[in-house]
Chains A and B, each alone.
Chain A
Amino acid sequence: MQNRPPKSWRDAVEHEINIPDQPILATDKVRYVGEALAVIVAESRYLAEDAAELIEVDLEPLPAVATVDMALATDAPKVHDDLKSNVVARLRIRKGDAAGILASGVRSIRHRFTNHRYLAMPIECRGVVSQYDSRSDSLTIWSSTQVVHWVRREVAVRLGLPESRVRCIAPDVGGGFGVKGHVYPEDVLIPYLARRLGRPVKWIEDRHEHLLNSTHARDDRHDVEVAFDDKGRILAIRDNFVKDSGAYTPVGIGAPSNTIAHLLGPYDIPHLEAAATVVVTNKTPNAPYRGSGRPEGVFVMERLMDLVARELGMDPVELRLRNMIPPERMPYSVGIPYRDGVPVVYDSGDFPAALHEAINALGGLEAIRAEQRAAWAEGRFLGLGVASFVEGTGAGPFEGATVRIDPSGEIFVATGACAQGQGHETIFAQVAADEWGVTPDQVTVSIADTGSIALGYGTIASRSAVNSSSAIRKASAVLRQKVFAIAGHLLECAIEDLELRDGRVSVKGVPTMSISLAEIAQAARPGWDHRRPPGMSGGLEVTEYFEPPTVTWAYATHAALVEIDRITGAPIIRKYVVVHDSGVLINPKLADGQVLGGVCQGIGGGLLEEVIYDQDGQLLTGSLMDYLVPTASDMPPIEVIHRETPSPLNELGVKGLGEGGAIAPPVAIANAVCDALRPAGYEIFATPIRRSEILKAIDKILG
């Protein structure tokens, strides 16, 4: 299984995992509203929906388990009858002795924090098309997935076909953000039907199905204690949290283990105890979405920072600086394991510098505080919110690349990444072009097609720029040896004397003595009259797999200046600043796009977007009238500042950046709102941020 954590993790983390299987179609029990229990094949979607209305289902209503409290009650009905309880996983990680510190009489506070359920909502819904070829007993699947190789494997296993008879392609996917990052029942069901019926079968998810049935995200509740001293040093954190997984856990314990691994953030905190309880309920399954567990942990940590600062009468910015890991301590070993089983070591960066830079971009702390005091004096409410975080990116275990030089001299690259608009084709062409001294338009990139490369992992977890780029570089390096050997043979010189320049291999210092990649490719062709050195095999094609030692650590500080509308309670973001470091940027414009898009989703998650269920497990937000995605009018002025500290963990020095933008906005805005309403002592402990609650705080101030 793609999901299963490695043995080194299993050895390092106290855990108990009983992940239930998700059926392709529900049989004796339907576990959430939206779970498919029948499939209709018709010649049009209209007819299929007509037919669906004719199906009579004999359903016996069972008591609903609609919340984690209902799931954990002693007499709770079981969502899965074959499990002992509704708890499907427990994880616990310890560093130092948090319990001992908290019991030692030092200052501490305790709070409960709730991250609400929201979701990815790409504008293109999911879809699967499959065609069966009876002559070869093989299936082609076009799925809007982020993980073509995983789909291929799951279909092959479930339908009893060798993987070589299943091809999965994900062409031009309209947004993913994680929700398309695992195998869904439809990915298996549609190919099954195509094979069974001997005709192509198409399923295009509609928005209603998407809201009911594509995975939701976030949704956890933390009970946290934090110990600190009078100087503002955080001494220990203990966090027990419960994650509402919905009816199934398609991506296992990925998100909660991320929450734990990212909880301490950029801070040097000696003692940690973090425990997750993953619970099943009668809701849509919960799976990773942009940030995957990180926004939840960062919300907790960054709210705590402000709350501790308040306890001590200290500026939250100052409190952060006192606890941040200084750059001279990098690389910094945190003392807990990552999800890949490797101990967490922040590889490079300067956390305090990012914080300073963000504050300065808003005018500097003194000026902001002066403006805030002036606003308060006028009866206006202005606040500064800051959120700093770290982000493990570029997760393994591997990604591959095939690099080939065609007889035309053009470079062909295939890799297991699957793009949904990030610009993979662009950056992989750039990387390959740099490797071969050609221009990007001389590179053809094939992604998201199991027919192009044998093994792949897919695009999740901010991993493709790191892993696929590194694989392209690695494969290019191996292929270059062969290219140079042939060039040396043709130019009659030593390989050490050769260099790549403008699509040609030339003798160093003698640019006139050169040979084009096309000529080398023709020389390398198998068959008669080739011009390879004796004993060398034909063709110019290499496949290599890059296996990163562990994740690279991106980090950022988000800072927001927020003013509250006194009539509506709406937080108006006057300016939002992101200082982001994801190592060397392959393409700064595309990097901006990733950060900005993430911030927009984070703002949506903080202020607008909310999946709501009633106590019977009925979804109340089943349309885009009720689930509110931010529009152009909801976006504040944003400044993105990149820092580029190279990662030492790959030759390109890159770190991942797909998710980072979405992690901090909810808590940065929450902190700003609380800061603005400090005269009322207003504190936010749950997302989304509610205007109605803000108005109550204003009433309190104005009497």
Chain B
Amino acid sequence: MTELHKIRVEVNGALVERTVEPRRLLSDFLREDLGLTGTHVGCEQGICGACTILLNGRAARSCLIFAVQVDGAKVMTIEGLSNSGAVRHLQDLFSKHRALQCGYCTPGMIVVAYDLLQHLPSPTAQEIRDGMSAALCRCTGYVGIIEAVTEAARERVAAVDCATPVHMTSD
């Protein structure tokens, strides 16, 4: 029997305390222990991106991190980003551009897009394409996804040019 570890982690702004086995993947911890099933699991090898979350403000694959590792850290899932309104506009743009069909990749896609726009405030078309390649979609052919993120980036640049506050802020 392996030793259990007690962890305290801030998830979506709230402190949670749980006891976990070291091997428990963060993706399973979020979904099963905390019931945050917005984080999806598609490959458990870091390729598909469906499980992407923000760890201390940066996008990361929750299937490649053990829950025990995030003791003391801040985790933001799609639920937290949604509820805080941080990705509301991106979600609207995804809807507008039909950037989802089955929706399974969408939480990861939104997190990847959010992180990309944080990282590169005015990305080029190529940077958007490369950046969004961090997650797989099997339904849409990515056309709507690229359109949605492109529009979000364009609006951001326009907003910054007008010296108005940018709405998408990190946690």
Contact = CB atoms under 8 A, between A and B. Distances in A.
Interface of A: 45-46, 120-125, 172-175, 177, 206-207, 420-423, 589-590, 592-593, 596-601, 623-625, 629, 631-635, 638, 661
B101 A597 contact: yes
A596 B140 contact: yes
Contacts of A175: 101-102, 104, 138-139
A124 B47 contact: no
A597 B42 CA distance: 18
B101 A423 contact: yes
Interface residues of B, number: 34
Contacts of B23: 46
Nearest to B25: A46
Contacts of B40: 123-124, 174
Contact of B45 (A172, A207, A600, A661): A207
A624 B48 contact: yes
Interface string B72-102: 0000000000000000000000000010111
A123 B104 contact: yes
B102 A623 contact: no
A422 B133 contact: no
B67 interface: no
Given A597-B139, A629-B48, A633-B129, 4 more contacts: A120-B138, A177-B138, A600-B140, A624-B43
B45 A625 contact: yes
A122 B100 CA distance: 13
Contacts, number: 115
Contacts of B104: 122-124, 174-175, 421
Interface in B1-57: 21, 23-24, 28, 40, 42-45, 47-48, 50
A619 to B, nearest CB: 15
A590 B140 CA distance: 10
Contacts of B132: 631-632
Closest A-B pairs by Cβ, 8 of them: A421-B102, A174-B104, A421-B101, A600-B141, A596-B141, A631-B133, A624-B47, A632-B142
A462 to B, nearest CB: 15
Contacts of B21: 46
Given A122-B102, A207-B42, A624-B45, A421 B142 contact: no
Contact of A207 (B44, B105, B145): B44
B152 interface: no
A633 B102 contact: no
B145 A632 contact: yes
A598 B140 CA distance: 8
Residue among B28, B50, B140 with the highest chain A CB neighbour number at 10 A: B140
A173 B138 CA distance: 13
Nearest to A638: B143
B161 interface: no
Contacts of B103: 172, 174, 421
B70 interface: no
B65 interface: no
A698 B132 CA distance: 32
Given A174-B104, A206-B44, A597-B101, A123 B24 contact: no
B39 to A, nearest CB: 13
A593 B144 contact: yes
